[in-house]
Amino acid sequence: MKSIVIKRLSLLNFKGIRNLTVDFDEYETSVFGANGTGKTTLFDAFTWVLFGKDSTDRKEFNIKTLDKDNRAIERIPHEVTACIEVNGEEINLKKCYSEVWKRTRGSAEEKFSGHSVECFYNDVPCSIGEYTKKIADICDEQVFKLITSPQYFVSQKKEFQRNMLLNLIGGNVSDEMLIGYNPDFAGIVKMLSGKTIDELKREVAAKKKKIKEGIDGIPARIDERKRNMPEVLDWAILERDIKKSEDRITELQEQIKDRTMSYNEANKQHQEIAKQLAQTRSKITKREFELKESLLSDYNSKVREYENCLVRVSQLENERNLQDIKLPRLTIELEGLQKKRESLLEEWSKIKAEKLEFNEDEFCCPVCHRPFEAEDIEAKKEQMLADFNADIAARKENNKAKGQEIKTAIESKQKEINDVNNAIFKYNEQIEQIKASKLYNEIPGEPYIQPFIESDAELTQLRKQESDLQSKLDGGIEAPDTNDLLEKLKDEQELIKNNMIFLEDRRIIDDNNRRIAELEKELNESQAQYAELEGIEYNLFQYSKTKMEMVESKINELFSLVKFKMFEQQINGGEIETCEAMVDGVPYSDLNRAMKCNAGLDIINTISSIYGIKAPVFIDNRESISELCSNPSQIINLIVDKNCKTLKIE
């Protein structure tokens, strides 16, 4: 088993202790002092130098020493040095918490900018990460807290305590152990696949509730079907009466058919006459059109010729108007071209008038203003004259080319204007010729042709035929009287309808009987399912109870004084998971201080034994405990003594 022992602990400006060194006995050390003298501070210093937390597991707590005004004293270091022995090997640990003061650029004063933490392992400086890893190699932080304070384990949440105890026994009780104890649990284990016990309980309860609701509702549904059952009648008599009515309806329909047959024949002849009348009227219309077409042929020809003259005049006028619209635009364009030609002529005259003039300054050095040599001046003048003549020639050529282009454009535009004027003249000439013609000036009159139409022999014959056919239609046909037969037919149909309503009751009775049988079957099946779920629920209860008893038994075997209650009975008969330490049946919360301490030591002994490590145990308020249970760890007693105004170590 790994053994950790404190040999020496030194505090400098730590939580009000300015400078203190304590040497500890290998087995037991007692620290005496009045309240507020720093007994618990020793425990805080030890946990801080290891893990950076106080003895209550707080990371944020006030380390600094305060002045009389309860303000932190600035610029002093806060240090804890611990000398511990691990399996006989001495290890020196040191942690220093200091303020950081820096002078910013342009400022004469230093300003506080934060804190720094320095760590030393066996007097060798190291980073916080390296230091933390080395401490973890000595002992896991969580395990260390569990085995150094009797109150730590029981102060944690029940869920933490429970998980810790289950870890001590190597996890929960296995399904194989439970099935070995009771083979009936095999089915429960299978159903628990992927579910917790509580989830399976809720699932079974939900299924029971749903089935129970169905069971409770089925009797009422059966009773409702029975109450709504129609009266049983003689169905054979009803079917026979319906058959008689159907036969009678067939007879009546035949009689109605006989009476209407002669009417249908007369109606057929009537429709044929109407068809002939329509054909005759169509022939009359066609003959009248043919006569009008023949008699008005010459008139229609003259009208068409007159209308053609009007259309032709309108077309020619439109064409002439289009040419009239073009003429102003073409004239403006021609004037623009002529102005451009005049501008080019002016430019030609200016170019011809230009002469080369020499500036004497051009023949002097631009720096010293000394005149060039005579031969250099002559050469430069010749070059300037050649350049001038070349420029004049080029500009004349360019002007001439533009002038030629303008000339061509003017000639083209003048030709276009002449073409437009000629076209306008021709259109006016054609319009005057048409308006002077006889066809244009004489509007043809429509001849009177009605006497010729009235005297046509074919048309007269067709109109007589029309009159004869219309006379035949005006006579009409008389419909047969079948009201008496229809009334009897209606009575028989009503009788069948009423009998069919009674016969429908037989289907309702059959449906109700079939549904009642289905509901009774459903009731039996639901009751069987409900009974099966109750069996599962009972086995689940036994499974859960057995598992709880086995878990509690395995856990409690680990302890000599403390026993743990892992499950709590509910009012409804169920049990919930819990974790409560007890001594002789008394809950931990109801124990006196001494028994609470011994219970905590018993827990420490078990955890130390299973994890194979022991560490110093700090026992607060030791003065109220007369006797401690056996413990192999180093004991540090924190004893309140009002007579000790400063700490006393024994």
Residue entry with tokens 């950081």: 100
Which stretch of 27-36, 87-96, 227-236, 357-366 has the lowest confidence by average pLDDT? Answer: 227-236
Beta bridge partners of 115: 99
- The stretches of 20-61 forming alpha helices (DSSP H) are 39-51
Q: How many residues does the chain have?
A: 650
If you average pLDDT over residues 394-398, what whole number do you get? 91
Per-residue pLDDT tens digits for 150-207: 999 999 999 898 888 888 887 677 778 778 878 878 888 888 888 887 788 888 889 9
Amino acid letter, residue 114:
G
Q: How confident is the model at residue 385 (pLDDT cuts 50, 70, 90)?
A: confident
Q: Return the C-alpha torsion angle 526, 531, 537, 541, nearest 10.
A: 170
Question: How far is Cα of residue 63 from the mean position of the Cα atoms in its chain?
Answer: 51
Alpha-carbon distance of 375 to 353, in angstroms, equals 29
* β-sheet bridge partners, residue 635: 28, 617
Query: What is the Cα–Cα distance from 612 to 125, expressed in whole angstroms?
Result: 30
User: Is 145 a residue whose pLDDT tops 70?
Assistant: yes
Confidence of residue 459 (pLDDT cuts 50, 70, 90): confident
Residue 81 pLDDT exceeds 70: yes
What pLDDT is attached to residue 449?
65
Please compute, for residue 313, the number of CA atoms within 13 A of its CA located in the half-sphere on the CB side: 16
Return the structure tokens found at 360. 């004497």
Residue 573 has a pLDDT of 62
SS (H, E, C) 109-162: CEEEEEEEEEEEECCEEECHHHHHHHHHHHCCHHHHHHHHCCCHHHHCCHHHHH
Strand-pair partners of 434: none
Structure tokens at 182: 């009771």
- Residue 364: phi and psi, rounded to 5, are -120, 155
Which of 595, 611, 588, 632 shows the shortest CA–CA distance to 153? 588
> Could you tell me if residue 170 is left (phi over 0), alpha (psi between -120 and 50 degrees) or otherwise beta?
left
Tell whether domain 2-139+615-649 is in CATH 3.90.230.10: no
| Distance set, CA 8 to CA 28, 84, 85, 240, 369 (Å) | 13, 7, 10, 119, 105
Computed over every residue of the chain, the mean pLDDT equals 85
Helix axes 483-556, 235-295, angle to 10 degrees: 120
Residue matched to tokens 């109870």: 545
pLDDT tens across 563-615, in order?
998 888 777 666 777 889 999 999 999 999 999 999 999 999 999 999 999 99
User: What's the pLDDT tens digit per position in 266-288?
Assistant: 777 778 878 887 888 888 788 77
Question: Which stretch of 35-39, 364-368, 498-502, 617-621 has the lowest confidence by average pLDDT?
Answer: 498-502
Tokens of 396: 């004349």
Q: Measured between alpha carbons, how far is 323 from 277 in angstroms, rounded to an integer?
A: 62
d(CA 543, CA 190): 12
How many Å apart are CA 461 and CA 395, to the nearest integer? 101
Other beta carbons within 10 Å of 321: 11
For 345, the enclosing helix (H) or strand (E) is helix 297-353
Q: With 70 as the cut, is the pLDDT of residue 479 above it?
A: no
3-state secondary structure (DSSP) of residue 561? coil
- CB of 183 closer than 8 Å to CB of 621: no
Q: Which helix (H) or strand (E) holds 527?
A: helix 483-556
Percentage above 90 pLDDT, the chain: 31
pLDDT at residue 475, rounded to an integer? 64
CA atoms within 13 A on the CB side of 21: 5
> What are the C-alpha distances in Å from 308 to residues 99, 301, 319, 321, 322?
118, 11, 17, 20, 21
16-35: pLDDT as tens digits? 899 999 999 999 999 999 99
Over the Cα atoms of the chain, what is R_g?
65
Q: Which residues pair with 620 in a beta bridge?
A: 638
Residue 61 has pLDDT above 70, yes or no: yes
d(CA 606, CA 53): 25
Closest CA to 322 of 419, 220, 437, 448: 419
- Helix axis angle, 197-227 to 483-556, nearest 10°: 150
- Residue reference for tokens 């219970």: 599
Can you give the pLDDT at residue 636?
Answer: 92
